[in-house]
Structures are given as structure tokens and as C-alpha cells.
Amino acid sequence: MITEQTSQIAFNKQVASRVFLMGLKSPEMRAAAVPGQFVMIRVRQAMDPLLRRPFSICRADGDLILVLYRVVGRGTEILSEMRQGDSLDVMGPLGRGFGHPPDGRRAILTAGGMGIAPLLFLGDSVGFLGCNLLAGFASSDQVIGPDRVGLLNVEMSVATDDGTLGRQGTVADLMEEHLSHMDPEPGMVFACGPIPMLKAIAAIAMRRDIPCQVSLETTMACGLGACQGCAVKASGRRDRSYWHVCREGPVFDARDLDWGAL
């Protein structure tokens, strides 16, 4: 069930360089949310910026939903200035979340940068016994781990481009490494992050025939499947040209996407 409401900010704190964690009071959304879903937030009561901004739910806690966001432009800048007790128009939970690995097998969760957000929620719901959470970041000061959002039952392996924390390299390297000594093979790979990273992960998974679900980001207007603004090209295997990320996604089976067009 989708809710649209004015939610109170329980907290809004910086957790890494330019990255903030916001708790929004919404028992309704908290109850309905599944990992991989997102909310649309109106960053202020003004006509500029006009459109809502989409953010993954990174955790559900008590009667709060948590979003983890990086300040990249005007909207997120404004968000970062909000204080506890302020209110925001929030709509959600939206979209289709992550599926389950076949017959409860172990999952690999791969994140690139802020792609960590929905995977934290997923990791939390699966628990560290059920998954390996692998994450790649540019550098150590960008690293956001489960602890930053208050999750203690999730473990994370880290790679950084510059080697300042964890393995030097990408999350794809990290995944290859893990796959090389995982037995049995994981039942599913989940991925969220920049397109090149998703491409790399999906390629590895598809090569090994491991089911792979990726979570995509596109520009959105409505978040409800009404405007058709958030289209991404579907692969030939489906009888349609485009998916709408807000409604049929943001989580897709990697094989359902036209990776060449992304």
C-alpha cells in the first residue's frame, strides 16, 4: 500500500563525507516497505526545485524509515539542511523490491558507492548468515558500512579504488574473489550502484549463470508509473520495449535489461 503523507524528521545526521542519514516517522511506510523499494521526497514546500527526489529505503526501524543520501545537487543540499522536527512530504514505499534467492540459498549483495543504501535494508532482512555484502567505494572516506545506519547483524567486505581501505580494486574484483571460494555457488547476486559497476557484476553473474537482480536509478517525475519518464530499454527476451523503473523496477532481473542501451 502506497502512502503519501507529511512525515516528521526524527533525525538527519551526517554519517560520511557529504552523506547523510535521515529518519522519517511513518509507521505506514515502515510496515509496508520491503528491501529495494524507494520513497519520493519533496525537499521543500516550494516550486523550485519542482519535482520530488527518489531515495531508497536503507532501513526500517521502529516506526521510522531511514534514507541514506549523498549531497549531489540542490535537492539533496536542501535536504541536508533540514532539522529534527521539520516535516517533509514523503510518498512510498514505491516500486518492486528485491526477490528471494531460489530455495533460500546464500546471496551475494554487491554495492557501488551510494548503491549500498537498498542493500543495507536487504542485508538486514537476510542477516549475515544468509549473505555476503560486498561494497566498492572510491576511497576510505566514502565508505559507508552497516554500522553507519545502526545495523549490527550485517557484515561487509570492502574494496576501494585507491586501496585506502579493504582490497584495492572494484566490487567486481571482490565478487570474483568471493565466488572463487564459495561453495555451493550463491543462489542470487543482488547489485546496486553506477551503471558501469552494474554491467560488470551482471556480466560475471550471467557468465556463471547465477540469477542476478540489479537496482537502477533514472530520473523520475511521478514515481507511480504514470508519466513514463523513467523508461529503460528492455532486452529482447521480453515482449516490450521499455520498463518503467519506478513501477516495474527499480529492481530488475539482469537478463530483462538491454545492457547496450544503458
Ligand X SMILES: Cc1cc2nc3c(=O)[nH]c(=O)nc-3n(C[C@H](O)[C@H](O)[C@H](O)COP(=O)(O)OP(=O)(O)OC[C@H]3O[C@@H](n4cnc5c(N)ncnc54)[C@H](O)[C@@H]3O)c2cc1C
Ligand Y SMILES: Cc1cc2nc3c(=O)[nH]c(=O)nc-3n(C[C@H](O)[C@H](O)[C@H](O)COP(=O)(O)O)c2cc1C
Question: Which residues would be at the binding site for its own copies (CB under 8 A)?
Answer: 46-48
By CB under 8 A, residue 72 contacts other proteins: no
CB-nearer residue toward ligand Y: 30 or 52:
52
Residue number closest to ligand FES, CB atom: 246
Residue from 230, 251, 254, 257 binding ligand FES (CB under 6 A): 230
In sequence order, the 6+-apart residues with CB closer than 8 A to the CB of 239 are none
Nearest to 198 by CA among 146, 142, 162, 245: 245
Closest to other proteins by CB, 180 or 219: 219
Supply 83's cell numbers.
532539522
DSSP secondary structure letters along 7-19: EEEEEEEEEETTE
Q: Burial letters for 187-211: b for 16+ Cβ neighbours within 10 Å, e otherwise?
A: bbbbbbbeeebbbbbbebbeeeebb
Residues 203-232 that bind ligand X (CB under 6 A): 217-220
Q: How far is the CB of 35 from other proteins (least distance, A)?
A: 20
Residue type, 186: P
Q: Is 226 in the site for ligand FES (CB under 6 A)?
A: yes
The item of ligand X, ligand Y, its own copies, none sharing an interface with residue 114, based on CB under 5 to 8 Å by kind, is ligand X
CA gap 257, 242 in Å, rounded: 9
**Residues 183-222 vs ligand FES: string with x where CB under 6 A?**
-------------------------------------xxx
DSSP state of 185: P
Q: Which residue has the cell 549531489?
A: 72
Considering only the stretches 56-64, 173-181, 198-206, 232-240, report the one whose residues sit in contact with other proteins under the rule CB under 8 A: 232-240
| Residues numbered 24-43 forming contacts with other proteins, rule: CB under 8 A | 42
